[in-house]
């Protein structure tokens, strides 16, 4: 796990955008796993700007989003499809046919969505890089605490805490969905690399438990300790509860010096 601790959320967004830009320059037809939520918004803005300046293209990119509400239709303003269109898809040159979310059409059996989504990911060759946020309760996607660490894409019931955190996006409590379809934890772990972003003091405890706590379904993000290639981008408030913070900063510094040396040799 590589920890990168940066001053503020804007630096996290810039580092995330740079990471994905490098990946797409190396593999223009990469498959990206994407997340919604407050955390990646600014990174998406930066990616859209890079695309506008022609420094980056999504023409051959395929995306799979982590999750979608069940019972919300793609054109509804609160759907994650609409959110992704507003925050990224409409401002980049991606082919909308290559943007996937675990959506359930009105006439579809919701139990079929998960297996179909898994098959679609496999058919596209698997996810090269999965972008993740983290919930205050340690969830990744909508894999709430107690989710099986071996889970696949399926329907999940949201915790009251998650519903409360997302309350602001809905006009009234009645219209707010309590069910979602989310990639499973094993699906996320299949990605060839993972880029987790966390910003703000409200995430500090979840970040600490994920990175320094025991691997446990009680904190789904802790499973990332078992993944071979994870980059965690944190701002200072999100990193503030890490017990080994000094060590992580020292490692970061050593890496910077080593790369500078290699570049100058």
Choice between 60 and 213, CB closer to ligand PGA: 213
**Other CB atoms closer than 10 Å to residue 116's CB: what's the count?**
15
Does the annotation count 75 as an active-site position?
no
139 is catalytic: yes
User: Minimum distance from CB of 39 to ligand PGA (Å)?
Assistant: 3
Q: Smallest distance from the beta carbon of 159 to ligand PGA, in angstroms?
A: 11
> Which residue is catalytic, options 139, 143, 166, 235?
139
Cβ 33 to ligand PGA shortest distance, Å: 13
67 catalytically annotated = yes
Nearer to ligand PGA, 3 or 13 (CB): 13
Taking the chain, what is the end-to-end CA distance rounded to the nearest angstrom? 27
Our CB check for ligand PGA shows the closer of 19 and 139 to be 139
Q: What residues make contact with ligand PGA under the rule CB under 6 A?
A: 37-39, 133-135, 139
User: Closest approach of Cβ 247 to ligand PGA, in Å?
Assistant: 26
- Taking CB atoms, the residue at the shortest distance from ligand PGA is 37
The answer for residues whose C-beta is within 8 angstroms of residue 147's C-beta and 6 or more apart is: 139, 156, 184, 185, 217, 220
19 is catalytic: no
d(CA 100, CA 90): 14
Give 124 or 227: the residue with its C-beta nearer to ligand PGA: 227
Which residues are annotated as catalytic? 67, 137, 139, 144
């Amino acid at each position: 796990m590589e920890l990168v601790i940066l001053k503020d959320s804007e630096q996290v967004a810039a580092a995330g955008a740079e990471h994905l830009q490098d990946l797409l320059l190396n593999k223009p037809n990469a498959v990206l796993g994407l997340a919604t939520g407050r955390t990646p918004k600014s990174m998406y803005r930066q990616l859209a700007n890079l695309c506008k300046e022609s420094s980056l293209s999504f023409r051959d990119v395929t995306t799979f989003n982590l999750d979608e509400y069940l019972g919300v239709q793609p054109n509804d303003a609160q759907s994650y499809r609409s959110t992704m269109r507003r925050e990224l898809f409409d401002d980049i040159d991606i082919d909308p046919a290559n943007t996937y979310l675990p959506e359930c059409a009105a006439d579809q059996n919701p139990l079929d969505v998960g297996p179909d989504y898994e098959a679609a990911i496999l058919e596209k060759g698997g996810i090269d890089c999965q972008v993740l946020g983290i919930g205050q309760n340690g969830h990744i996607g909508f894999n709430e605490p107690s989710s099986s660490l071996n889970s696949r894409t399926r329907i999940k019931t949201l915790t009251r805490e998650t519903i409360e955190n997302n309350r602001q996006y809905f006009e009234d409590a009645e219209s707010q969905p309590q069910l979602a379809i989310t990639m499973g934890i094993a699906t996320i772990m299949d990605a060839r690399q993972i880029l987790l972003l966390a910003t703000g003091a409200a995430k500090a405890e979840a970040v600490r438990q994920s990175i320094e706590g025991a691997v446990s379904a009680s904190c789904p993000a802790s499973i990332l300790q078992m993944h071979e290639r994870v980059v965690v981008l944190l701002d200072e408030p999100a990193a503030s509860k890490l017990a080994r913070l000094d060590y992580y900063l020292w490692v970061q510094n050593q890496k910077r010096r080593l790369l500078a040396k290699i570049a100058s040799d």
